[in-house]
Amino acid sequence: MLKGKVAVVTGSTSGIGLGIARALAAQGASVMLNGFGAAGEIEEIREGLERVSGAKAAHHPADMSKPAEIARLIEAAGSKLGSVDVLVNNAGIQFVAPVEEFPAEKWDAVLAVNLSASFHAIRAALPRMRRRGWGRVINIASSHGLTASVHKAAYVAAKHGLIGLTKVVALETALEPVTCNAICPGWVLTPLVQKQIDALAAREKLSPDAARRKLLADKQPSGEFATPEQIGGLSVFLCSPAADQIRGASLSVDGGWTAQ
């Protein structure tokens, strides 16, 4: 379905972003990876995407907290892969503390990566989509874009802001073949979350299964994690003709978290 299209996926060397990159590559898209990691591991991922897609894949190490590097990322996708047809804003960071103890520099960093980076990437990519006469912007928000939790002031503020940005871009492109939507995952089983499970199990002397259940219990009524592959599948759907009139939506993949 995406043969001849180029996708930029930020924060895509692991976790949700990598699941999305693989799903888009499986539909024939060329993919620009972005993120940090060991050079050998990133090259293995890049080569794997090319085998799956039959198209090109590349990597750019842009720091998503720096607007100039974001501009270079989009420029590199155009020069190396030919265009930017799909932009998935996935990169994110987290910091947890009560509001009165929240370091100002951590607030700035979380807002920069989780919100401002998406603005800068969309701003750079949208003219390219308009010239090509087709485009998809997919912002990976969070259940915390629709609700809140204690000690996550910056993250919750950024994800709420990202949903607002999604709606504005959707309205500004409403008469064009360019759409903008947000995906709002709850708990997703990524390597980072697995580390949290392992730490909880060790700290409270729980079995791995008991630690998983405890982590999910307060938030995710299904009692099951979402997967990067499921987020990737929804991203592919949003690129399909069936999603042409899904615009400015916030689509939850959260096991019922925000239905409560």
**Alpha helices, H only, 104-227:** 104-111, 117-132, 153-172, 191-204, 208-217
Residue 186 is a catalytic residue? no
Exposed/middle/buried for residue 111 (C-beta within 10 Å: 0-12, 13-18, 19+):
middle
- Stated as kind and residue range, the H or E segment containing 138 is strand 135-140
Active-site annotation holder among 155, 187, 225, 257:
155
Q: What angle do CA 110, 228, 157 make, to 5 degrees?
A: 25
Measured distance CA(157)–CA(199) in Å, rounded: 27
User: Sign of the C-alpha dihedral, residues 116, 118, 121, 123?
Assistant: negative
Exposed/middle/buried for residue 180 (C-beta within 10 Å: 0-12, 13-18, 19+):
buried
Strands across the sheet with 30-34, in order?
57-60, 30-34, 6-9, 86-89, 135-140, 178-185, 250-253
Instruction: Check if the beta carbon of residue 141 is closer than 8 Å to that of residue 88.
Output: no
Instruction: Check if the beta carbon of residue 40 is closer than 8 Å to that of residue 16.
Output: no
- Stated as kind and residue range, the H or E segment containing 68 is helix 67-81
Catalytic residues: 155
